[in-house]
Amino acid sequence: MDILGWINQAITEGTIPFLIRQTLIYAVPLMIVALAGVFSERSGVINLALEGIMIFGAFIGVLFVRLVQQWGWFEEAYKAKDWLTLQGFSLMTMGVTALLGAAFAMLLAFAAINLRADQTIGGTALNLMAPALVLFFVRILANQNTLQMASGDSAGWFMLKESYFGFGVGRGVNKTPSMGFLGQIFVNKVYPVTYVCIIIFIVLAIILYKTKFGLRLRACGENPQAADSLGINVFKMRYAGVGISGALAGMGGFVYAMTTANCTSNGDVAGFGFLALAVMIFGNWKPGNIAGAALLFGLFKCVAASYGSLDINGDGVYMLKEIGVSAHVYRLLPYVITLVVLAFTSKSSRAPKAEGIPYDKSTR
């Protein structure tokens, strides 16, 4: 089969739309959480607690969804398949997780800025505390090890489907046509929160590099003494950086739980927080590079999760499944790629000069 024929068949069979959709699902949480690390470290505070904040954000998001379902606020919208109202529900949940994620990150900010504690140890402590705290509350609230939605599943409540727009409805000769190639990629079986996160990523990247606030934040991570001499409050800017970082990581935790874990929380996010740190370092603390790195890791995550259903040649043979490689090898792939990439790129990465160094006004 020639390359054009393969591409045409892959489009027709849905392989390429599926790969792009799934890659975005895995890449977007990495992008937003890696940007969380950038805001914290550009202000001068190392945030190793991204994993812990993601775990906490996932728990808060699932708990909020569960409570709202029990209260029946959006039950009519769910029954009527009012997708626009349900997306408002998901946005409201994202806001709640962002607020509480920022609050949780204040533990790190207080220890690092006011107490001048070792930031690596502080972040590690939060990473250890978050899953224990989440599992403790899950056991109390649900009497089991996993907190789930009160009714339905994540796809039923929050995923867009082409049938909502009149495509692919009916059976046989009465069935309406399906969406085209772009519709299958960007509309059908897509979580709109993915696009919300991309918009947030772009807006915050512009704020970081094109505004007075962003310049001051970056100055505090490069030379806080010089920033202080110009009247910039280093402590406030570092608190702002860690707060934004916590909000983004908490939001990223919920987006991860919604899109890849069927809106459940069990004190685990599959190492996405640490992967986001690797994406941040690989991307050299620059949003554009981070987006590219996240897409690369997202692709490998997609292959690891769905290798058994990928018909690469469009011939009905699932080659990645048939070659006899253990499933554990595919699951290891994203993390092995992370180690390899970091081994070759970490030496050329340039971190902010003052990150990890507690600021002392008396030193110049």
The pLDDT tens digits along the chain (364 residues) read 444 444 454 444 457 778 888 899 999 999 999 999 999 999 999 999 999 999 999 999 999 999 999 999 999 999 998 999 999 999 999 999 999 999 999 999 999 999 999 999 999 999 999 999 999 999 999 888 899 999 999 999 999 988 888 887 777 667 778 887 788 888 888 999 999 999 999 999 999 999 999 999 999 999 999 999 999 999 999 999 999 999 999 999 999 999 999 999 999 998 999 999 999 998 999 999 999 999 988 988 888 887 776 655 555 556 666 677 787 888 888 888 888 888 887 777 788 999 999 988 877 6
Q: Is residue 167 part of a domain?
A: yes
Q: What is the CATH number of the domain that holds 255?
A: 1.10.3470
Q: Which of 41, 39, 359 is nearest to 227 (CA)?
A: 359
Q: Is residue 192 part of a domain?
A: yes
State which residues form the domain around 77.
Answer: 27-348
Q: Is residue 267 part of a domain?
A: yes
How many helices (H) and strands (E) would you count in the chain? 16, 0
Contact status, residue 1 vs residue 9, Cβ threshold 8 Å: yes
Q: Is residue 96 part of a domain?
A: yes
Q: Is residue 299 part of a domain?
A: yes
Q: Is residue 353 part of a domain?
A: no
- Residue 311 confidence (pLDDT): 59
- Total domains, the chain: 1
- Residue 178 confidence (pLDDT): 81
- Residue 6 confidence (pLDDT): 42
- Residue 317 confidence (pLDDT): 53
Q: Which of 280, 201, 281 is nearest to 247 (CA)?
A: 201
In the numeric block, the tokens 């940007």 are attached to 35
Q: Is residue 139 part of a domain?
A: yes
Within 8 A by CB and 6+ apart from 236, the residues are none
Q: Which of 234, 217, 219 is nearest to 362 (CA)?
A: 234
Q: Is residue 54 part of a domain?
A: yes
